[in-house]
Chain A
Amino acid sequence: MPEQYIADKRALNIRWLFEMAWRDSRKNRSRLLLFISSIIFGIAALVAIYSFGYNVKNDVDSQAATLIGADLTISSNKPADKSIQPLLNTLGDRRSQERSFASMIYFPKGNGTRLVQVRALQGGFPYYGALETTPSSAGIDFRNGKKALVDQTLMLQFHSNINDLIKVGNVTFLIAGILNKAPGQTNISAGIAPIVYIPLQYLEQTGLQQKGSRINYNYYFKYDHVIDMPKLVKELEPKLEKVNMNYDTINTRKESTGRSFENLTDFLSLIGFIALLLGCVGVASAIHIYIREKIASIAIMRCLGVRAREAFLIYLIQIIGIGLLGSVIGAVLGSLIQHLMPLIFKDFLPITVSTAISWMAVGQGILLGVIISVLFAMLPLIAIRNISPLNTLRMSYENINLLRDPLRWLVYTLIVGFIMVFTWFQLHSWLGSLFFTLGILVAFLILTLTAKALMKLAKMVLNNSWSYLWRQGFANLYRPNNQTIILIVSIGLSTTFICTLFFIQSMLIRQVNITATTNSANMILFDVQTIQKNPIATLTAQYHLPMIQQVPVVTMRIEKVNGKTEAEMKKDTTNQGVRHLFANEFRATYRDTLSATEKIVDGRWQGKAGKANEVPVSVEDRFAKRSHLKVGDHLLFNVQGAPLQAVIASTRSINWSRMQTNFQIVFPKGVLEDAPQFYAMLTHLPSKSASALYQRAVVKQFPNVSIIDLGQLLSVLDDLLSKVADIIKFMGAFSIITGIVVLIASVRISKYQRIQESVLLRTMGASRRQILTITALEYFFLGALSALTGTLIAYVGSWLLAKYSFQIPFSADILPASGIFLAITVLTVAIGLLNSRGILNKPPLEILRRDV
């Protein structure tokens, strides 16, 4: 038929679409804002983290010099080779050197001992920044005598004061000042390994430089004139590599510190992203209901000649507008919250972080918010295309299934793709992003299936013999426009998050506790010289303590792998990444049996050396993998000057979570017995007081021996985990708040839908109490089931993490989990009831007359 009767296809009138979007939103703006409020906290979390990240990056750039304290640092874990000494004596205009190592120190005043990091310093280091001390002059003065700077946490722990004494090895030092901060030091590192500075000239006298002592040698250089550092390090690199020395410049430190914080902020962004995703599910659900209510308007517009695409665009514009508004509010909130970040991270920061507004972060947050709210809203929005104008004549909700559209698969793909790409930007690994996305999808899927199962179950078990209130409360779970899926997903996901965090933290702490309280070893003495072995065993016996293990340790280096030296391997492009094999000094042991925590993964364990030319050794499997070593490879060791040819006979897996000595390389008996060696000795202390007495006795008689006390380690670990957990909880709080906002928004949306019904019930004489009971029952079922599902997912997730990631036995407390379950259920019911009070407090007629 003649198409000329139809005017030419009219062009899209964008201005009119915007005008219609604005007009149509008139009476719904507060509701639209409520929908979009779900993404506000997710965006706020991300903007806060991004802003913090950008500020850290800028501050690391501007403060990098004070992190390293010099223009150039050269370091090694062995004394400088004679060949390099002339170079070390000529680099820089000013030079300092430092030896750092772990050692016990003794506080005569309080009779206390503690494993610390001793730094023996000579010269004017640091050249940038300062050793922050009390009094401030102590940072310089301590170098002029038998004086020490002692970390502030140690001073507090042992109630020491300036001018008290401290014994390091055989030498007693006067405490010249309190060390508040060393270059690059954080509160966390100070807590784990508190620092004690002494002048280098007294190190020899302390007697702590012995065979087997693990000492780091640092050389600091300062240039008083402008120097082309990249050119200098390019020249130095081959020379330093030859003698296995490393270097660090302001720029390399800038990069490595920046990278560490980038990894941290990337990880935290993922937690923020979970909050955002959670909010987006809320948005999708709310928009779905919104569009349902708009079917009549859309049908009228279609009747008047509005094309499907135009109707779709009108609502898309609304969503973009409101998404933009929500994102801007989120960005403003995030910019305010970022002022808290330096406080939350203060223990982990080696620098002072500023809190300037990062426009880049704000822009990223807003863009992300708009994209993701549109993506998720797209699911219900695409259904607009299918709304028939026939609905003006005969409204049939049941025939309009808003989600039955092939295009929805494209939208699902876009959403999953977006999550993958966003995650990749945080993790820089496709496998990691795949697992993260899958994890999120699985959690969503489980919660959705649970919700569907609940609806089905509610339908099945609903019994006519129940009282009306119970039947109505139960029926609310599955009848049209129910909130079951959205609430179970959002509350369940928040619960999963809180519970997993809680379970993992308590499992880690419990694991250390168990080791500390059982009869297994809870104290390790290391750096025990051969001549000290028997006297320490005697001393231990005098204190009625068991000597659980005496493990010989032999230090050695690898000279060749499969007949190739380091230089030869470097030429071979297939053997990259094995430099650390040659650079490191290894501590190996020898024995004829495997320990209880070891398992052969490949090859055969040989506990005794045979008569073959090559000694069969066992290598830890992860170390072997990292170093590209396998069973049958040949290694030439340099055992303190003596060459020793070995072959890898087996690889072992080790459970590192047990308190015992573990070794990457284990030799069989009958080879190393005569090599220079020292010992690690393990014992068990029944109490804190016994531990303090024993430690004191050991340190007094054997000052070079270092002690790891599991009790002390436990408190350090507890402190560290609490601080890490606080940060994760802070980020997790955004998910929890989002969950609550989604809950409030969902309840309020359902309020609009159920207003007629409640009014009808009230009109027919239902009391306030009866309506409250119906509402309370519905939200009780929703809250209880989502919290229960969330807790169960958290149990499974924690079990997987415990088994595969932390490799510790799984255990989870029922009591705290029950507490979380109860709190979430009560909160859900409370929010449900609070939001329904509007209907209850007003006469039915008033509500009927109001244009809802």
Chain B
Amino acid sequence: MENILHIAGLGKTYQSAGHTLTVLDNINFSVTTGSTNAIVGPSGSGKTTLLGLCAGLDRSSTGIVELNGISLGELNEDKRAQVRNQHVGFIFQNFQLLPTLTALENVMVPLELRGEKNVKSRALDLLDKVGLAERSHHYPAQLSGGEQQRVSLARAFSNSPKILFADEPTGNLDAETSEKVIRLLFDLNKEAGTTLVVVTHDLELAAKTQRIIRIKGGKLIADEKTNANA
């Protein structure tokens, strides 16, 4: 299988009050196209930083990140933005919907950015898939947490990404809603054939992916396959 994401010798350090703080140290792994993966670890282990680097939201201090064959380290921020728009989808713990845009407009944005046509009907289709077609003209503040995360899912799949990064997608939801959102996430992912990388400390969620990468103290401590076939 072809790799969509390749990480080699990845490290991230911060300068803080004259001290060097190492958040990630020599991380190496690859993610094959179409697979589902979970990055797990305790709070402060560096998993969100790792996700940010993999998705091109930040620059690494050392090592390389190749996404769909593109070395992100060599790109400036605008180029990385273009890569994100073309190849990457995001789901955040706190949904991160634009508060001044309706649910429909939030889903339309990635498509509009690409200059695509008929964006409205495609966005409505996606909202329909997540069961929110009726709420398309509501603003985020008028939606419940679960509904907001479903809009976020619709937005994440709107640009048909090759890889989807999810940062604690159920972290802000109750158990029942979490279950629904997770089911929807995996269903949509399967349908679209997207690669999924989930950062979580929810082991139940992690177990639903095909592979679990464990991180502790900024180091990769385990990389194991699961029995899941999602």
- Seen from chain A, the residues whose Cβ lies within 8 Å of a Cβ on chain B are 1-3, 5-7, 9-10, 13, 16, 19-20, 23-28, 296-297, 299-309, 388-390, 392-394, 851
Closest A residue to B141 using CB positions: A851
Decide if B145 is an interface residue (CB 8 Å cutoff).
no
**Interface contact B100-A26, CB-CB below 8 Å:** yes
**Interface contact B83-A304, CB-CB below 8 Å:** no
**Interface contact A1-B74, CB-CB below 8 Å:** yes
**Interface contact A7-B115, CB-CB below 8 Å:** no
**Interface contact A308-B69, CB-CB below 8 Å:** no
Kindly state the separation between the CA atoms of A297 and B85 in the bound complex, as whole angstroms: 16
Residues of B within 8 A of A307 (CB): 78, 81-82
**Interface contact B100-A392, CB-CB below 8 Å:** no
A520 CB, min distance to chain B CBs, angstroms: 71
**Interface contact A6-B112, CB-CB below 8 Å:** no
Instruction: Report if A300-B98 is in contact (Cβ < 8 Å); known contacts: A2-B70, A6-B82.
Output: yes
**Interface contact B48-A394, CB-CB below 8 Å:** yes
**Interface contact A304-B109, CB-CB below 8 Å:** yes
Residues of A within 8 A of B58 (CB): 388, 390
Instruction: Report if A301-B109 is in contact (Cβ < 8 Å); known contacts: A1-B71, A851-B141.
Output: yes
A-B contact pairs, 25 of them (CB 8 A): A3-B70, A5-B69, A5-B70, A6-B75, A10-B82, A23-B98, A23-B100, A23-B105, A27-B100, A297-B98, A301-B98, A304-B84, A304-B90, A304-B110, A304-B113, A305-B82, A305-B84, A305-B86, A305-B159, A392-B92, A393-B48, A393-B57, A393-B167, A394-B48, A851-B99
* Complex interface bits, B72-115 against A, C-beta within 8 A gives 1, otherwise 0: 00110111011111110010100011111100010001101111
Instruction: Report if A16-B100 is in contact (Cβ < 8 Å); known contacts: A302-B81, A304-B84, A390-B57.
Output: no
Instruction: Report if A6-B86 is in contact (Cβ < 8 Å); known contacts: A305-B110, A388-B58, A393-B51.
Output: yes
Closest B residue to A303 using CB positions: B90
Residues of A within 8 A of B71 (CB): 1
**Interface contact A306-B113, CB-CB below 8 Å:** yes
Kindly state the separation between the CA atoms of A585 and B109 in the bound complex, as whole angstroms: 83
**Interface contact A393-B70, CB-CB below 8 Å:** no
B57 CB, min distance to chain A CBs, angstroms: 5
Decide if B68 is an interface residue (CB 8 Å cutoff).
yes
**Interface contact A392-B68, CB-CB below 8 Å:** no
**Interface contact B78-A308, CB-CB below 8 Å:** yes
**Interface contact B81-A305, CB-CB below 8 Å:** yes
Q: Which of B77, B90, B99, B105 contacts A297 (CB under 8 A)?
A: B99
Q: Which of A7, A13, A393 contacts B86 (CB under 8 A)?
A: A7
A4 CB, min distance to chain B CBs, angstroms: 9
Kindly state the separation between the CA atoms of A393 and B82 in the bound complex, as whole angstroms: 19
Closest A residue to B94 using CB positions: A392
Closest A residue to B70 using CB positions: A5
Residues of B within 8 A of A13 (CB): 112-113, 115
Residues of A within 8 A of B147 (CB): none
Q: Which of A5, A19, A28 contacts B68 (CB under 8 A)?
A: A5
Closest B residue to A22 using CB positions: B100
A380 CB, min distance to chain B CBs, angstroms: 18
Decide if B52 is an interface residue (CB 8 Å cutoff).
yes
Residues of B within 8 A of A25 (CB): 100
Residues of A within 8 A of B68 (CB): 5
Kindly state the separation between the CA atoms of A302 and B115 in the bound complex, as whole angstroms: 16
Residues of A within 8 A of B112 (CB): 13, 16, 19
Closest A residue to B79 using CB positions: A6
**Interface contact B100-A306, CB-CB below 8 Å:** no
Residues of B within 8 A of A1 (CB): 66, 69-71, 74
Closest A residue to B90 using CB positions: A303
Closest A residue to B101 using CB positions: A23
Instruction: Report if A303-B109 is in contact (Cβ < 8 Å); known contacts: A1-B71, A308-B77, A394-B48.
Output: no
Residues of A within 8 A of B98 (CB): 23-24, 297, 300-301
Residues of A within 8 A of B77 (CB): 308, 388
**Interface contact B99-A27, CB-CB below 8 Å:** yes
Closest B residue to A386 using CB positions: B77
A-B complex: 6 closest residue pairs judged by Cβ atoms: A305-B85, A1-B71, A851-B141, A307-B78, A26-B100, A389-B57
Kindly state the separation between the CA atoms of A394 and B44 in the bound complex, as whole angstroms: 12
Residues of A within 8 A of B57 (CB): 303, 388-390, 392-393
Residues of B within 8 A of A296 (CB): 96
**Interface contact A392-B82, CB-CB below 8 Å:** no
* Complex interface bits, B208-230 against A, C-beta within 8 A gives 1, otherwise 0: 00000000000000000000000
**Interface contact A28-B100, CB-CB below 8 Å:** yes
Q: Which of A7, A26, A299, A390 contacts B82 (CB under 8 A)?
A: A7
Kindly state the separation between the CA atoms of A765 and B15 in the bound complex, as whole angstroms: 41
B82 CB, min distance to chain A CBs, angstroms: 6
Closest A residue to B58 using CB positions: A390
